[in-house]
Amino acid sequence: MSDTRAPREIKTREFEERPKQWMPPDLLPEPDKQPGFDYRWIRVAMNAVADPRNISSRLREGYEPVDVSEQPKMKLLAHRDGPYKGNIEIGGLLLCKIPTEFVGQMQEYYAKQTRLQSEAVDNNLMRQSDPRMPIFNERRSSVSFGKGS
């Protein structure tokens, strides 16, 4: 009986890999993550008009501009002059970092605000309910598809 199978040395991942395809570049490169920090691109200008109000509020929240020395692969994107000299900026967006513990605290804060507002709306709605014709407050949603024509 003859063996018509290919030798095992030929069957490797290199030979079975899909051909590589060209892809357009990302608009905003992903920074190298440092443990304990989350990264975010923050608007400092829109349509070439500075937006100091936005960046000011983000800095008060705890965001810090990332220095180019922390992200050496983004050296070409460093801002060369102005208030963000030595920081990484692309098209009016400044790369900033924030401690991960702050992110968790912000998420908890906004989840609590959302819950309190939903409860206030529910209480206001139920206050207007009449026992003869009660208002039902169901918080379920469903997706259905039509049959089409």
| Rounded CA separation 129/127 (Å) | 6
Q: Is residue 42 part of a domain?
A: yes
For CA atoms 53, 59, 63, 66, give the dihedral sign.
positive
| Res. 3: pLDDT tops 70 | no
Domain containing residue 86: 34-99
Q: Is residue 67 part of a domain?
A: yes
| Res. 75: pLDDT tops 90 | no
| Rounded CA separation 134/125 (Å) | 10
Q: Is residue 111 part of a domain?
A: no
- Predicted confidence at residue 135, as pLDDT, reads 67
Give me the number of domains the chain comprises.
1
Q: Is residue 129 part of a domain?
A: no
Ramachandran category for residue 76: left, alpha or beta (phi over 0 → left; psi -120 to 50 → alpha): alpha
Q: How high does pLDDT run on average in the chain? A: 82
Q: Is residue 74 part of a domain?
A: yes
109 burial via Cβ count (<10 Å: 0-12, 13-18, 19+): exposed
| Rounded CA separation 114/70 (Å) | 36
Query: Phi, psi at residue 42, to the nearest 5°?
Result: -115, 135
Residues 101-136: tens digit of each pLDDT: 999 999 999 999 999 998 888 887 777 766 666 666
Q: Is residue 26 part of a domain?
A: no
Q: Is residue 140 part of a domain?
A: no
Residues 84-104: tens digit of each pLDDT: 888 988 888 999 999 999 999
Residues 38-54: tens digit of each pLDDT: 999 999 988 889 899 99
- Residues 61, 98: contact at Cβ < 8 Å? yes
